[in-house]
Amino acid sequence: MLIEVKDVSKAFKKQQVLKDISLNINENEIFGLIGPSGSGKTTLIRLIIGAISSDSGSIHVMDYSIPNLKALNVIGYMPQNDALYSDLSGYDNLIFFGGMYQMKKESLKQRAEEVLALVELEKDAKKKVTNYSGGMMKRLSLAVALLHSPKVLILDEPTVGIDPILRKKIWDEFYKLKEQGKTIIVTTHVMDEAIKCDRLALIYQGGIIACDTVGTLLSKTKDNSIEELFLKRGVKEQ
């Protein structure tokens, strides 16, 4: 087990966002967090990285008890927005973030070229990010997350607002990374994207309503759609 989330609750002011969440994420899998917007996906991700601390419960990533500064060395994070410095070139963005992981100058340069090739941005590397298209920024953002070769990749809605062709490319990339032994956590609210994951956790109103492999989850539905699981739950609550 690579990531263990145990009985975690989190409230902002008086609003309970997550209650008693428990999750185990294995090494070398693509794990999807799926749920409607406002269900608490991003909060859970921020808890796993250690951006915020939980009110109760514990989180472990590898051997680190979260929050832990050292754990950030093994995690690559891609926030929902592209989070890039628009006045810098794509290459300079990579060099800067690499510096934050204390990468050596020569290996950083080499690695920057590698990830740029991976997301097919070699030609535009010297352009300022202001001049990038939405898709290019998304790819550069992914490149930044991959830069320091983290063991765990945490991606918050990585394919939102991306055309189907690029989306497929990015998913092909995820499978490749998985083959290399990485663990990937992806949040999404797009159901047809969720079925590309190995395992899924369905988050609804701050709780996990189901967590299993995609196959098992689908077998519980009549019409082979994840949406059904949410709809059932919604009807029950009413």
- For other proteins, the binding residue among 73, 149, 221, 225 (CB under 8 A) is 73
Interaction between residue 77 and other proteins (CB under 8 A): yes
- What contacts 235, CB < 8 A, 6 or more positions away? none
Amino acid at 104: K
Phi, psi of 105 (to 5 degrees): -50, -50
Interaction between residue 121 and other proteins (CB under 8 A): no
Interaction between residue 75 and other proteins (CB under 8 A): yes
Interaction between residue 134 and other proteins (CB under 8 A): no
Find the part of the chain contacting other proteins (CB under 8 A) among 100-108, 169-177, 185-193, 200-208. 100-108
User: From the CB of 45, what's the least distance to other proteins, in Å?
Assistant: 10
Neighbours of 176 (CB within 10 A): 11
Interaction between residue 84 and other proteins (CB under 8 A): yes
Interaction between residue 72 and other proteins (CB under 8 A): yes
Site string for other proteins, 15-54 (x = CB under 8 A): ----------------------------------xxxxx-
Distance CA 30, CA 197 (A): 5
Find the part of the chain contacting other proteins (CB under 8 A) among 33-41, 90-98, 191-199, 217-225. 90-98
User: From the CB of 72, what's the least distance to other proteins, in Å?
Assistant: 4
Whether omega for the bond prior to residue 67 falls within 30 degrees of 0, making it cis, is yes
Distance CA 133, CA 156 (A): 19
Write down the residue that tokens 């859970």 correspond to: 44
Distances (CA, A) of 98 to 45, 143, 157, 183, 184: 22, 11, 23, 20, 20
Q: Which residues bind other proteins (CB under 8 A)?
A: 49-53, 67-70, 72-73, 75, 77, 79-88, 92, 96-97, 99-102, 128, 144
